[in-house]
Amino acid sequence: MASATESIDEILRKSYDAGFVTDIEQEYAPPGLNEDIVRFISKKKEEPEWLLQWRLKAYRRWLEMSEPRWAKVSYPEIDYQDICYYAAPKSKDDAPKSLDEVDPELLATYEKLGIPLHEREVLAGVAVDAVFDSVSVATTFREKLSEVGVIFMSFSEAVQKHPELIKKYLGSVVPVSDNFFAALNSAVFSDGSVVYIPKGVRCPMELSTYFRINAAKTGQFERTLVVADEGSYVSYLEGCTAPMRDENQLHAAVVELVAHEDAQIKYSTVQNWYPGDENGKGGIYNFVTKRGLCEGARSKISWTQVETGSAITWKYPSCILKGDDSIGEFYSVALSNHRQQADTGTKMIHLGKNTKSTIISKGISAGHGQQTYRGGVKIMRGAENARNYTQCDSLLIGDQCGAHTVPYVDVRNSSSKLEHEATTSRIGEDQLFYCRQRGLSEEDAVSLIVNGFAKEVLKELPMEFAVEAQKLLGVSLEGAVG
Amino acid sequence: MLKIENLHVEVDGKPILKGITLDIAAGEVHAIMGPNGSGKSTLAYVLAGREGYEVTKGSVTYKGQNLLEMEPEVRAAEGVFLGFQYPVAIPGVSNIYFLKAALNAIRKHRGQDPLDAIDFMKLSKEKAAIVQLPDELTKRAVNDGFSGGEKKRNEIFQMAMLEPSLAVLDETDSGLDIDALRVVAQGVNALRGPERAMLVITHYQRLLDYIVPDVVHVLIDGRIVRTGDKDLAKQLEKQGYSEVRDAIQP
């Protein structure tokens, strides 16, 4: 067994494929955070006064708040005055009008990440809003979308073109004072994506945003807002990678979803931020607030996440089930290898009658990785006949990692039904040997077993991305996939 | 095909095999019988390359090559198949997907193109029929929730798919009722051929009524103490292992 563990360890010492730095000129704000920086960002983005005031309010609240320390993650204190809060490719002033005008090196970067910006994307039916550091570089398929009235654009652009939309929904699900990182984001967020699906429209394609942190020592604070009006449907995917750097980088995003009556939002994330090296040097601190509001009756919000990156993940995509008969779902695969720490899970807050939630969480720990599932199910007094099903499974690879499960349940209506199942298993030497005896390499065997373990969640991803996620799980564990 | 010479193997510093010599030619079926703890499974694992089994002396030559130097997956690709006594479950991975990955890994090693989905399905239908493996089982996760009989049938199905040169079947009869035993044995017999050698490891003579071996060896305390033809198995069934043990250790 000892030698089997050793060889597993060897496999786990893979390299990070997306760890390249793009050498283009960047424009920075001076490091540090104060009201002037907030004003600087707002001015750079030519924002209206009300938005500046909203940011400043958030900033002032942030000053009074302290960093949450309840998660099972440990990291040195973050010096918020040592971070740059704004960085943009310099060519911003003469912004690209088509893909041909985009910096070729930038396009090459996306190429390496496998983001389909050209024809491939037509075939795949994917529209990509690529956020390079803070400024949205290229938005594709917008025309096709606007034919059916779908709004899909960068946050800065939406602020200019659809201020009423932003004003109505910004902070409506995650208020500025919600938590420390949400407040920070509200003060300094630089860009992100906005989606609006009008009444009765089924969005004709998967919408997708790739975020990428490129500049050293910059925080990325993007903001995503997805609003699905009555009876509409949208599937949205975000993918994230960041180059390899020795120092840690901060990523504090906020995602707000609003689903009106009979609307459905499917939000999928494939997160592959740089996890740090095998000794835990470098890597992204991923402190993200994601929340969806099932505002209308029979609305549905479904979160699917595949989290393989980041040095630290602190993330709990949640659903507020306000409308009667609304449905919340959370499907998660989180992988922590080397020294990665993940404290992730969800919160399902049942307010309406006959509301239903499903939580399927699959945690994979390898190397010295630490993994915590933290989930909250809250059934409020008015939530007659609410149902919740929770399943969290942990898979351990090697004997130096850890898996922890922390479920919170708060039930205030006795007509509700809740189920909770949890398992912990280990990739056994016997499983590996069985696969190898049939001709599979050790790497392929690990990948196969892990993908089998995660299958229930992976099948929730849109087809094009399920394949990518499957590969990512393989790559994150070894370097090749069978 | 397989030449084992004076093989000594230790597990955790404890000697298990104490000088095994065995020569199996292509087309032959050899049976190894012995009581519990005699080292039968150890021999199977050593041939397949499982870790934790230390060869302290002797050699194993397979098709003229030093088998002991090969990684387990290389042995598999070179045509060594082990039918497990306790097949392992892999939840979430369908049987058919698993086999396709395995078969194509082996084909790659042999310099062959991977089988496409259609050819693969055709092949698997054909082979599943040999052990009467229901279609539904080929789609379920590998050995997950399979009954004892289903697991063993699945092993033989895999063997049929991978078409090994040397098949080592470790207690393939254990946990089988008489009907399942017959099906499994028929499957094995269907795969007998002039190019293929088999090493059938069993505790009981029962299996050898169905899979009639060319040579029978009796393994006791890490040594082969008797070698004979199929009648040796019958004789053993009557006398029991203790009599043989007494006979060789007066």
Cross-chain Cβ contact A3/B51 below 8 Å = yes
Cross-chain Cβ contact A433/B90 below 8 Å = no
Q: Which are the contacts of A173, defined by CB distance < 8 A and separation ≥ 6?
A: A256, A257, A258, A291, A292, A293, A320
Instruction: Give the ipTM.
Output: 0.95
What pLDDT score does B175 carry? 81
Which residues from chain A sit within 8 angstroms of residue B90, using beta carbons?
431, 434-435, 448-449, 452
What pLDDT score does B246 carry? 73
**Lowest-confidence region among A36-45, A72-81, B46-55, B84-93:** A72-81
Alpha carbon distance A171, A189 (integer Å) = 12
A96 has a pLDDT exceeding 60 = no
Cross-chain Cβ contact A454/B87 below 8 Å = no
Q: State the smallest CA–CA distance between residue B96 and chain A in angstroms.
A: 13
What pLDDT score does B248 carry? 64
Q: State the smallest CA–CA distance between residue A318 and chain B in angstroms.
A: 27
Q: How confident is the model at residue A269 (pLDDT cuts 50, 70, 90)?
A: confident
Mean of pLDDT values over A419-440: 90
Bridge partners for B23 per DSSP: B3
A354 has a pLDDT exceeding 60 = yes
The pTM of this model reads 0.79
Q: State the smallest CA–CA distance between residue A427 and chain B in angstroms.
A: 10
Which residues from chain A sit within 8 angstroms of residue B73, using beta carbons?
436-437, 439-442
Nearest CB partner across the interface for A449, out of B52, B84, B90: B90
The answer to whether residue B115 neighbours chain A at the CB level (below 8 Å) is no
> In a mutagenesis test of the A interface, which of B93, B106, B112, B156 is the best target, namely the one with the most A β-carbons within 10 Å?
B93
Q: How confident is the model at residue A129 (pLDDT cuts 50, 70, 90)?
A: low
Q: How confident is the model at residue A2 (pLDDT cuts 50, 70, 90)?
A: very low
Which residues from chain B sit within 8 angstroms of residue A434, using beta carbons?
84, 87-88, 90
Alpha carbon distance A304, A270 (integer Å) = 9
Alpha carbon distance B108, A378 (integer Å) = 53
Cross-chain Cβ contact B90/A448 below 8 Å = yes
Q: How confident is the model at residue A393 (pLDDT cuts 50, 70, 90)?
A: very high
A377 has a pLDDT exceeding 90 = yes
SS3 content of chain B, % helix, strand, coil (to 5): 40, 30, 30
Q: State the smallest CA–CA distance between residue B103 and chain A in angstroms.
A: 7
Mean pLDDT of the residues in chain A: 81
Cross-chain Cβ contact B92/A430 below 8 Å = no
Mean of pLDDT values over A357-367: 91
Alpha carbon distance A307, A333 (integer Å) = 6
Beta-sheet strand order (sheet of A206-212): A135-139, A126-132, A206-212, A233-241, A264-272, A300-307, A327-336, A356-366, A387-397, A417-426
B68-89 per-position pLDDT tens digit: 999 999 999 999 999 999 999 9
B115 has a pLDDT exceeding 80 = yes
Report residue A473 as tokens. Answer: 């799980």
Alpha carbon distance B177, B162 (integer Å) = 26
A294-328 per-position pLDDT tens digit: 999 999 999 999 888 778 888 999 999 999 999 99
